[in-house]
Structures are given as C-alpha cells and as structure tokens.
Amino acid sequence: MAIQTATTGNLDNAQGIIIAKVRYTAEANDPCHLLIENFRLPKGEKQMTVPKVGAMTAQNLTDGVDMVDSEDIGLTSTDLTTSEVGLKIILTDKLIHQFNEDVFRVIGRQGGDAMSRKMDEDIIALFSALNGGTAIGKDGATLGLQQASACVARATAEKYPRPVYFVHHPYAIATLARNSAGIGATYFAGVIGGVDSEQEKLLRNFWKINVDGVNFFQDGNIAKVSDVDSGYGAIFSKAAMCIIKGWDVRSERERDASLRAWELVITADYGCFELDDSYGAPAQYEMGALETS
C-alpha cells in the first residue's frame, strides 16, 4: 500500500522548503463524453436497455392493387450497465501540517484529472470497434483538408445521423488546421445541441475547425499505435456511442487515527458502450510531434 509521508518522493519538495506554490501538471481532460449520448442509471436499477429499430422500405404501388408485402420493425437493443472506477490517496498528518497549500485541494485536482482522463480513455477505446473495426485513413497518411472532406463525405454517404463529430490527437488536428485555407472563417455554433451552455463552453477548448458542417476536435488522450507515429481517432455520429452513469465523480475523506493520517477516496460509477457501430469509423492518421523551430 502506497502511503504518502512527509518525505515521499517529490512531495518533500512541495513543502515550503523549496517551492512556495504548487504547479499543476497540465493534463488533457475529457471532451469525448460530451460528444456521445449520455444516460443516467436510476437509483434502484442495475441495467438500462436501449432499443433501436431497423430501416423500413417503401414500395411503388399500383392503383387498385392491394399491398402484399409488410415491413418488420427490426427491433434490436443494447444493454447498458455501470461499474465503479476510483482511486485512493493516504496523507499523513505531518505532510498536511508541512504542506504550504491546501493539500486536499491539490490532491483533489490531481485525482479529478485522473478520473477525467480514465473516462475519456474508456470512450476512445471504443473507436477501434466502430465500422466493424475497419478504419479510414492509414499509417503514414496526413490529415489534410482533402482527407477531412473525404471523411465527412463518407459519413454523409453512409447516412450517419447528425450531429457528426471528428476527434483526433492535437498534432493531427493542428496539421489539418495549418494546411487548411480560410481557417479564420470557420465557425463554432450548435456543436453539441441539447446540452447546457456550460458544457458547450468546455468543448470550445477542444474545438479546432469545421469542415463541411462537421466540427473537428482535438484530444490529447489518443495514443499512438505501437512502433508508428500514427494513431486512431474517429469520425462518428453522436448516436454511435454512449456513456451511462450511476453517479458522477465524488470524493470522501476518512480519518485513520492510528496511522495519523487521512484517506481520500475518489470514485465514479459509469459504463461506455457502442450503440451502433455503423454510425462511425476509426480514423488512422499521423500524429507525430510538429516542428516548433
């Protein structure tokens, strides 16, 4: 069990001996959960079943001739469940006394970032299963305006329900923005219709460019494929994936008198699922570091 003491690693440096102010490590947060369907698991329930109906086909008719064929509803469903995610930090009284800032505020920020990153990575893990796992793009392909337009055209041709989003690593999206004409003319509006303005403000931090009516977002939690400089983002309808929550991130702290310490526990209860993999596709493009000089 890892117990944070007054001399544990760099925590010693965080006391007033060396630095006067804690600096937070910048981490990418979780834009993806705002771009997919969100459900809430009611208290007393252990599962939610989301139905989906198939497509029907209309036929030409002849005057005076009875219709013979009938259509099936084609009902399918997805069962949604939740599971707990969490972390624990132990802080000794000595550390709390010597720390020159509110240590609980610091740890809460770090823990909150970790939970946020975990949720985002769980959604990103679904990208590879979209479209039956068949990706657009390829290793070595650069995301330019031509490729972005082709991705959007494919989504339109395959009838992805609007709204449709594209998410990839900041390096891939920056390459697109840099190589696109008229960047200043792009406009962010109605990106996540149906959610409150505070969530839309959060998404503005990740939005980069609009191509043919589809907003492109950057997400630093997308990882490279092993041994190559490319990785998998995705283009998808909001209806392609979902997250269901039993409860949002919450924290509790408990006193351990014999240890002369406090335990801080941070948990959440959620699950991430595909709703329809035909409404999206993985997108493999280069995401190597950009030249800065």
Residue 181 has what pLDDT? Answer: 53
65: in domain: no
CATH number, domain of 119, equals 3.30.2400.10
267: in domain: yes
- What are the backbone dihedrals phi and psi of residue 206, each rounded to the nearest 5 degrees, phi first? -110, -15
Q: Which domain range does residue 104 map to?
A: 9-53+74-286
257: in domain: yes
293: in domain: no
- Map residue 65 onto helix, strand or coil: coil
Give yes or no for residue 287 having a pLDDT over 90: yes
Report the residue count for the chain: 293
Nearest alpha-carbon partner for 91 in 263, 283, 288: 263
Query: Distance between CA 246 and CA 129 in Å, rounded?
Result: 24
Number of domains in the chain: 1
14: in domain: yes
Give yes or no for residue 13 having a pLDDT over 60: no
**C-beta atoms surrounding 238 within 10 Å:** 23
**Mean of pLDDT over the chain:** 82
Query: Residue 183 — very low, low, confident or very high, per pLDDT cuts 50/70/90?
Result: very low
> Which residue type does 251 have?
S
3: in domain: no
Residue 16 has what pLDDT? Answer: 35
DSSP 84-105: EEEEEEEEEHHHHHHBSS-HHH
278: in domain: yes
- Over residues 261-270, the pLDDT tens digits come to 988 888 899 9
183: in domain: yes
Query: Residue 198 — very low, low, confident or very high, per pLDDT cuts 50/70/90?
Result: low
Query: Distance between CA 158 and CA 237 in Å, rounded?
Result: 11
Average of pLDDT values for 145-155? 94
Nearest alpha-carbon partner for 223 in 271, 171, 258: 171
